[in-house]
Amino acid sequence: MSVSPVFARPLDAERQQALWNLVCRIFNVDLNDWTELRFNGEPFGYLNPLWRERLMRDWPGRIQADARQVDVQQPDWLALGDALQHMAAQWQRTGELSGWRNEWFDVCAADGSVRFALERAAFRPLGLASRAVHVNGLVRQPDGDWAWWIARRSPFKAVDPNKLDNLVGGGIASGECVHQALVRESWEEAGLPAEYLPSSPAHHAQHSLRAVSRGLHREWLHVFDVFLPAGVTPENQDGEVAAFVPMSSDDLVAAMLQGRLMNDALLATLDAFERHGLLDAHLPLAQWLQRNRQAA
């Protein structure tokens, strides 16, 4: 559907300020406090003191370091990727690295070119930038207002069981383009066929940057909106979602402020709030979202 919701008025200033305070708490990272990680002189990631020490201890090849940066050197990019994968697997075997999934993400240079692929569990320890697709699902209610389809994660999920999430949200696997990931994740998580998905390639990405227990989360969230017809109910296909519920904007804001929404889902939803008139363009939250957004 090509319909775009327009909310009659923004949220009240008090709730916008509360959401801004929440964003400031979650996405508050000063990269000057981290060691820059370079590969062959090119910037790729960021290390906290623990992972800097482990990298310096276990890297088998040439490495240069000073107070501000660590430069891992191996002119053959595929060999560099293999060595990093071997090192990450060693950390996993010794119990130093958790969350191993046997899933690979592409490690990209600043210009977007892919250098090599690496187990996704190693991205946060090394502060590498990953990519994901997020879909805001909206449906018009009988009273003419819009509701948001929100997923409740399975209670059996290893990470954040039972938390609320976007209609669709998932990482872009190695070798996938954004559109391929959008189609795959939309079917796996919500049972959405391709005809419900945006036909235009135009979209944008929000930069999710936050410190986590395993290191630094750096991910570009490619955000899409899907407008589902009334009577169409999402159906999970892969067992990762316990239920889908339509939520009003007011109920969704309350869930955000209660900490019930996944952090990246919060960012992707606020992105849609800003674009569809729920945020005042003159207030700090909307202005930050505009600055944090990148055309993709």
Mean pLDDT computed over every residue of the chain: 94
Question: What is the per-residue pLDDT across 190-203, written as a single tens digit (0 to 9) for each?
Answer: 999 999 998 765 57
Helices (H), the chain: 13-26, 49-58, 77-93, 123-126, 178-190, 249-257, 263-275, 284-292
| Joined tokens for residue 203 | 């979209």
Residue 242 confidence (pLDDT) above 50 = yes
More confident position, 290 or 296: 290
Question: Which tokens hold the place of 200?
Answer: 């235009």
Question: Residue 4 has what pLDDT?
Answer: 58
Report the pLDDT value the prediction gives residue 168, as an integer from 0 to 100. 97
> What is the rounded CA–CA span in Å between residue 145 and residue 196?
20
Cα 178 to Cα 26, 134, 210, 287: the distances in Å are 26, 11, 22, 26
Q: What percent of the chain has pLDDT over 90?
A: 88
Strand duo 35-39 + 69-73: pairing: parallel
Contact residues for 39 (Cβ-Cβ < 8 A; gap 6+): 71, 72, 73, 74, 77, 80, 115
Q: pLDDT band for position 154 (50/70/90)?
A: confident
Q: Are 241 and 149 in contact (CB under 8 A)?
A: no
Query: Does the pLDDT value for residue 144 go beyond 90?
Result: no
In the prediction, which pLDDT does 35 show? Answer: 98
Q: What is the mean pLDDT of residues 229-240?
A: 92
Give the global pTM: 0.94
Mean of pLDDT values over 51-80? 97
Helix, strand, or coil (residue 102): coil
∠ Cα 78 173 245 (to 5°): 165
> What is the predicted pLDDT for the residue at 46?
98
Cβ-Cβ contacts under 8 Å for 291 (sequence gap 6 or more): none
Closest Cα partner for 192 from 222, 151, 157, 237?
A: 237
Asked if 222 and 296 touch (Cβ cutoff 8 Å), the reply is: yes
Residue 205: phi and psi, rounded to 5, are -135, 140
Question: What integer pLDDT is reported at residue 15 of this predicted model?
Answer: 98
Q: How far apart are CA 284 and CA 272, in angstroms?
A: 16
pLDDT tens, residue by residue, 174-186: 999 999 999 999 9
CA–CA gap between residue 165 and residue 227 (Å, rounded): 17
Helices assigned H by DSSP within 27-139: 49-58, 77-93, 123-126
Looking at residue 157, what is its pLDDT? 80
pLDDT of residue 294: 84
Residue 228 pLDDT > 60, yes or no? yes
Alpha helices in 131-283 (DSSP H): 178-190, 249-257, 263-275
Over the stretch 75-114, which tens digit does the pLDDT of each residue have? 999 999 999 999 999 999 999 999 999 999 999 999 999 9
Mean pLDDT of 53-80: 97
What is the per-residue burial (b if ≥16 Cβ within 10 Å, else e) of 273-288? bbbbbbbbeebbbbeb
What confidence score (pLDDT) does residue 5 get?
59
Q: Is the pLDDT of residue 51 over 80?
A: yes
Question: How many Å apart are CA 38 and CA 42, to the nearest integer?
Answer: 5
Chain-centroid distance of CA 184 in Å reads 16
- Give the pLDDT band (50/70/90) at residue 1: very low
